[in-house]
Chain A
Amino acid sequence: MNERLFGIHGAALTLRSARMGVIASNIANAATPGYKARDIDFNAALDARLAAGRGMAASDPRAGMVWRRPTMPALDGNTVELAREQVAFAENAVAYSATLSFVQGKVNTITRALKGE
């Protein structure tokens, strides 16, 4: 039902929110020795989620999770690069906003149809 109403945007919004958490975790751990930065490969994760929604594959919450490859590895084993995380966070926030406006548009359309205006 969810997928029929919102198309891919429902799943996309959930994923964008999850990715925001993952990148925020990287930013929080910028000074933790040995911490390996992670990210969500959005395309792969969305494909997996849509396939799970159609009942084609079991839902795997870790689908699309990738380790960040550092440009220059640090001596303490930490692979967080603050500038890259900032850019990724900003990009993800913009994409979240875009997806949210699609969902809002859909909701508005349905509401108007229901009210018969």
Chain B
Amino acid sequence: MPERAPTTLFAMTTRAMSAQMVRMNAATSNLANAGSVASSETEAYRPIRAVFATELDRASGLAGVAATGLVRTETAPTRRHDPAHPLADKDGYVFEAPVDETAEMIEIMDSARQYQNLVQALQTAKQLMLETLRSE
């Protein structure tokens, strides 16, 4: 791990917020690609998911979170018989992206709620810190 400044509450919350952003963007990309078709199973869009991992800072005891990467899910694309489609293969099939719109919407809502929670916690913590600083 590269040398970095000691983790503060601010740094930890910032990283957690970025992780939530990655998660939200992944879900949004999936929604954007819902219903897209391809002419073969390998070319079809597969939904992506962010992978979260805890990063513990031993010096301060704070446990942050980071999105360590994106994975493509292993769901098989939906095969649909549509000979009139310009992308249909020689048997007249197209392969549709296996995106579950409801699940993606829930993912976005969940992510937004956790993001809000982080912001609120940070606001309270900041206010308390300022009060402590201003006390004479």
Q: Compute how far the CA of A18 lies from the CA of B63 in the bound complex, rounded to whole angstroms.
A: 12
Interface size class, chain B: 20 to 34
A19–chain B nearest beta-carbon distance, Å: 10
Which secondary structure characterizes the binding site on chain A? helix
Q: Mark A20-39, 1 if CB is under 8 A from B, else 0.
A: 11111111111111010010
For chains A and B in complex, what number of residue pairs have CB atoms within 8 angstroms?
89
Q: Mark B90-134, 1 if CB is under 8 A from A, else 0.
A: 000000000000000000001101100110111011001001100
List B residues at the A interface (Cβ < 8 Å): 9, 12-13, 15-16, 20, 23, 52-54, 60-65, 110-111, 113-114, 117-118, 120-122, 124-125, 128, 131-132, 135-136
List A residues at the B interface (Cβ < 8 Å): 13, 18, 20-33, 35, 38, 61, 82, 85-86, 89-90, 93, 96-97, 100, 103-104, 107-108, 111
